[in-house]
Amino acid sequence: MRIKFLMQAICARRNYLIKVTDFALKRLEGSPDGTLALQRRSNSTDYHWVKGKDAKKVNIDKKSKEGKTLINRLAHKSYYLAVVRAAKEEIKLWDTLINRFPGKTFENIYENLSDDRKALIRPMEYPDDEYAKLWQGVSYEPWRFHSEDAVYVTNRGEHVRSKSELLIANRLNEKGIPYRYEYPLQLRNKTFHPDFTILRMSDRQEVYLEHLGKMGDRKYAADNIDKINEYALNGIVQGDKLFFTMETDDVPFNTESFDALIENRLR
């Protein structure tokens, strides 16, 4: 995981813990004094209300409505108090880490070298921009176009097969997402050409995006279900390394939902 994404994850966890703490504290408002003690017998459990400086135990009538309510409120009180303690301890840990985290990590060493020195050194780990450039620079033979295929040219000068794929390619490029169009992928005895093979920089994993542009066509939909199943049988599962955009003649490609996919799963 890249450092900036690690820090984002830590900050997101810290903010979540703050919300959890606030929620638990609100739930504790108006809680009854004292605590709940349970005594397990052979076939039942007795409940006691422990309160006062002398920690006197008072038996609670677990069959009455008032008793059930008291048991419930005391049980939740102890739970929420434990949640608050645990969340605050973790927040303290993350605060210490954030405050003491070095301003420069080993990945920055290569980044800050002059171009002349970079030319002399093979880095232990390439910075994101260098890694993306190397990944993007791989040469390959894309899937062949037929004479009847419509051809659209992306901002990078690539030929794609539809207006929606043109939008996708240009959107990925604008967002700085490295991708390859119709890069060959060997699955068992078959070679697939996913519409877009994407380098997800947060974990440097290759993920795949298929645009299903004719979902109103029953045969097309059935063929793509077979393809989805083939992906899954090869360990490429939807929502993990496989993602889809879709449209029909009546429901066009939605750029807003695609932007959400980029921000939440493709970065």
Supply 194's token pair: 């996913």
Supply 206's token pair: 């290759």
- The Cα–Cα gap between 62 and 49 comes to 11
Query: Do 89 and 169 share a domain, yes or no?
Result: no
Give me the DSSP letters along 158-186: -EESSHHHHHHHHHHHHTT--EEES--EE
State which amino acid sits at residue 25: L
Mean pLDDT on 144-173: 87
- The Cα–Cα gap between 242 and 163 comes to 21
- The Cα–Cα gap between 13 and 43 comes to 42
Query: Do 143 and 261 share a domain, yes or no?
Result: yes
Point out the domain boundary residue: 47, 76, 100. 100
| 125, part of any domain | no
Among 117-121, 148-152, 239-243, where is mean pLDDT lowest?
148-152
- Predicted pLDDT of residue 147: 61
pLDDT at 128 over 60: yes
Domain count, the chain: 2
| 122, part of any domain | no
- The Cα–Cα gap between 225 and 212 comes to 10
Max mean pLDDT range (73-82, 214-223, 224-233): 73-82
- The Cα–Cα gap between 195 and 182 comes to 5
Report the 10 Å Cβ neighbour count for 70: 20
Kindly give, in sequence order, each residue whose CB lies less than 8 Å from that of residue 60, ignoring residues fewer than 6 positions away. 47, 48, 49, 67, 70, 71
pLDDT at 150 over 70: no
Q: Residue 184: which domain range? A: 138-266
| 126, part of any domain | no
| 132, part of any domain | no
pTM for this model (two decimals):
0.61
Query: Do 149 and 258 share a domain, yes or no?
Result: yes
| 123, part of any domain | no
Q: Select the more confidently predicted residue: 144 or 159.
A: 159
CB–CB of 156/173 below 8 Å? yes
Point out the domain boundary residue: 100, 128, 156. 100
Residue pLDDT, tens place only, 179-217: 999 999 988 878 899 999 999 988 889 999 999 999 999
Query: Do 70 and 151 share a domain, yes or no?
Result: no
Query: Do 37 and 146 share a domain, yes or no?
Result: no
- Predicted pLDDT of residue 148: 63
Cα angle: 116, vertex 200, 170; to 5 degrees: 90
- Predicted pLDDT of residue 36: 96
| 116, part of any domain | no
